[in-house]
Amino acid sequence: MDPSSAGAGGNSLTSVGADAQKRRVCYFYDPEVGNYYYGQGHPMKPHRVRMTHSLLAHYGLLDRMQVFRPHPARDRDLCRFHADDYIAFLRAVTPETQHEHIRSLKRFNVGEDCPVFDGLYTYCQTYAGASVGGAVKLNHGHDIAINWSGGLHHAKKCEASGFCYVNDIVLAILELLKYQERVLYVDIDIHHGDGVEEAFYTTNRVMTVSFHKFGDYFPGTGDIRDIGYSEGKYYCLNVPLDDGIDDESYLFIFKPIMSKVMEMFRPGAVVLQCGADSLSGDRLGCFNLSIKGHAECVKFMRSFNVPLLLLGGGGYTIRNVARCWCYETGVALGQEIEDKMPVSEYYEYFGPDYTIHVAPSNMENKNTHQQLQDIKCKIVDNLSKLQHAPSVQFQERAPETTLPEPDEDQEDPDERHDPDSDMELDYHKPLEDSARRSLIDGTRVKREFSEMETKDQHGSRVTTEPRGAEHMAEDIGPSKQTPPADANAYAPVGVKTEPERATKVPDTPAMNQKP
């Protein structure tokens, strides 16, 4: 079903109970996204997004929200976070020419886990454009925006990682920061959201909260002791979990932590990465969540009535991924959908039960009540060291990003596009010379280093602890208040200003350990 044929509505129906408020919901989907193929045997299958869309259509959920086909992100949109030479490489490399780029493949960690496949760059443009488009909609009055093709949280500034090439989450958060003083990022994928954490590790304008499997598991980061640095200290929260965690244990720790986060941080918008590899029975996962348990996290974050961007992520038992994201779309809309599935073109994938919900397994829960209590107390203690809702001064707002009106998918894209928009459709212009971005604060950054330098709020130089993160900076501030004396004082570690450029030696992950 073409997205342009759906979405006459947009206001979800009223929820039952205390959370009884209509939401203006929009949904981004490109019909081509299911055609991209990582290769035979690779666990990441974009086809799962097409299966999800089919379920949404047959459950009638598309008619209850505005449906948009995303504008592809242009080179300069992607380069708001990523290195321009990395983006140039993604644009240039193809399966037929990759033998000509051996050094670049190694440099940018593109290979087994993150293979070169047909249409790779267009795929990146599509899912990133959808996430940025969702952020634009939230900035202009929508309550909830959904992009199940996004949520690729491992991508770094200068390298691919864990099946992720472009970090659409970071790009969406940067878009939200044009209007919002503070943005909260929450990650319920089984893998640690390392790429997003690294990008915003030294700013207090973005708080990152990741609930993940920790200990001999990809990507190996996400220790509870990693709490942020400099202005970002205590604005990074990691909740390390063990195998077999079930709904009761997960929600026991999720709800009180997130309640305290919302109380202390008071974000203007929330980005929720809904990786479905934390479900029971996932091909690469080891948690034991039911679809209802996973979706309860979505319902809980929705209940705060803060603009909410829902993104996909991991998930490798694709029939359960489609089940989960379909059900969570219903949650976003305030709709409880029937357990019995309607007949669809992918109906046979869901046999023998043909239901939305599947029973979790009887695997052992290695997370004891005392362990979870200790983690919760430690996280709450870190939160208690924050000042309530930090007061952040703004820089001049970055250029406006505009999207078409609800029914514009049927119009000529060149006619409906704003020529001054960040999201331009013509992406065939050459990239700028990467050499001009080779300085950070006047200091050339080398590919190998054990320390990174940044500046504190008053412009004095400080040295961070070595943690593999790169120092980056960028013009992320909205313009609701007067600009600070130091325009980079609140810039995130992962977003770039004009005179900036860094590279990093990649650590190659093992195939199938992560997404």
Answer whether 324's CB lies under 8 Å from 295's CB: yes
Strands 453-455 and 461-463: antiparallel
DSSP 21-66: ---BEEEE--TTGGG----TT-S--THHHHHHHHHHHHTT-GGGSE
Which of 492, 281, 310, 506 shows the shortest CA–CA distance to 392?
492
Q: How many residues does the structure list for the chain?
A: 515
| Tokens (6 digits) for 66 | 């505005």
d(CA 175, CA 139): 8
Structure tokens at 455: 């500046």
Cβ atoms of 186 and 154 within 8 Å: the answer is no
Q: Are strands 453-455 and 236-241 parallel, antiparallel or unpaired?
A: unpaired
CA 236 from centre of chain: 15
pLDDT, residue 10, reads: 52
Asked if 439 and 501 count as a contact pair (C-beta separation under 8 A), the reply is yes
Instruction: Record the tokens describing residue 104, joined without a space.
Output: 């670049």
Q: Give 346's Cβ-side CA count (13 Å radius).
A: 21
- In 3D space, the residue among 313, 305, 288 whose CA is nearest the CA of residue 195 turns out to be 313
CA–CA separation, 343 vs 353, rounded Å? 12
Which of 53, 154, 417, 471 does the annotation list as catalytic? Answer: 154
Instruction: Say which residue the tokens 């501030």 belong to.
Output: 477
d(CA 203, CA 499): 19
* Distance from C-alpha of 494 to C-alpha of 19, rounded to nearest angstrom: 36
82 is catalytic: no
pLDDT tens digits, the chain, 515 residues: what are they? 444 445 445 544 334 444 556 799 999 999 999 999 999 999 999 999 999 999 999 999 999 999 999 999 999 999 999 999 999 999 999 999 999 999 999 999 999 999 999 999 999 999 999 999 999 999 999 999 999 999 999 999 999 999 999 999 999 999 999 999 999 999 999 999 999 999 999 999 999 999 999 999 999 999 999 999 999 999 999 999 999 999 999 999 999 999 999 999 999 999 999 999 999 999 999 999 999 999 999 999 999 999 999 999 999 999 999 999 999 999 999 999 999 999 999 999 999 999 999 999 999 999 999 999 999 999 999 999 987 665 555 455 566 665 554 444 444 433 333 433 344 333 333 333 333 333 333 333 333 333 333 334 333 333 333 333 333 334 444 333 333 333 333 344 444 333 333 333 334 344 444 54
State the burial class of residue 97 (Cβ atoms within 10 Å of its Cβ: 0-12, 13-18, 19+): exposed
Distance from the Cα of residue 226 to its chain's centroid: 19
How far is the C-alpha of 506 from the C-alpha of 407, rounded, in Å? 43
